[in-house]
Amino acid sequence: MVSLNSERNYPLLNLQAIMKGVLAALIITVLGSAVLGIAYHVTGLAEKTLPQASNVLYYLSVFVGSLLSARWAGCKGLVHGIGVAVIFVLFGWLIAHFLLYTQNVSSALWQKALFSCLIGSVGGILGVGVAR
């Protein structure tokens, strides 16, 4: 019988799980964007709701990616969730910087990064709870 005082020695960070979580978030974002595009084209949804819908999709992607990353890692959900959120925000910033030629980092990006880290940490904590 294993004593309750013995702790497992988990690594600080499982990069493979984080990268899988980021990939899952990217897939959710691409598929969700396609679904939103079709929905806005086919239905009579007002285009003024598009920014809110894209924000919901963005944060949902971070949440699910963080949840899956922590689930695959099996431990340290906070670290893995924030890791997915930070890499996802950096990836989005790089795309915007190099493809859209944005020059400055606005306060909206910092706010989005902070909120993404919050969402990612919640997803990561819940992901450890549903770990195998």
Q: How many domains does the chain have?
A: 1
Q: Which domain holds residue 53?
A: 15-129
Predicted local confidence at residue 1, as pLDDT: 46
Confirm whether 59 is domain-assigned.
yes
Q: Which of 84, 29, 93 is nearest to 60 (CA)?
A: 29
Confirm whether 3 is domain-assigned.
no
Check the CA dihedral 69-72-78-83 and report its sign: negative
Q: Above 50 in pLDDT, residue 127?
A: yes
- The answer to whether 14 touches 73, Cβ cutoff 8 Å, is yes
Q: Which of 48, 60, 69 is nearest to 126 (CA)?
A: 69
Confirm whether 123 is domain-assigned.
yes
Confirm whether 101 is domain-assigned.
yes
Confirm whether 4 is domain-assigned.
no
Enter the pTM of the model: 0.86
Q: How many residues does the chain have?
A: 132
The pLDDT > 70 percentage for the chain reads 87
Confirm whether 9 is domain-assigned.
no
How many whole angstroms separate alpha carbon 86 and alpha carbon 25?
12
